[in-house]
Amino acid sequence: MNWLEIDAILYGIIARHDNVNDMLEEAQKQFKWTPSQADDAMQPLIKRAGFNGAVIDTVKPIKRTKRK
C-alpha cells in the first residue's frame, strides 16, 4: 500500500466523521498506528480538506539574535 492509497482512505475517514478525535481514533485502529503517527498523518489532510473543527498546532518560529 502506498501513500496515495493511504491518503484516499484517510480522506474517507475525514468525510465520515465530524469530530477530529473520532477521525484520529479510526485511523489508529485501521492502520494500527500510535496516536502521534495518526495525528501526523491526519492533520495535514484535515487542513487541506477544510475541516472547520480541526485543531492544528502551529510551530512558533525561532527567534534568532543578531551577531555582532
* Residue type (1 letter), 40: D
Measured CA to CA in angstroms, residue 9 lies from 6, 13, 41, 42 at distances of 5, 6, 11, 11
* Residue type (1 letter), 39: D
Contacts for 22 with CB less than 8 Å, ≥ 6 apart: none
**pLDDT 10s digits, 5-49:** 999 999 999 989 888 889 999 999 999 999 999 999 999 998 888
How sure is the predictor about 62, in pLDDT bands with cuts at 50, 70 and 90?
Answer: low
pLDDT score, position 53: 59
Average pLDDT over residues 38-66: 71
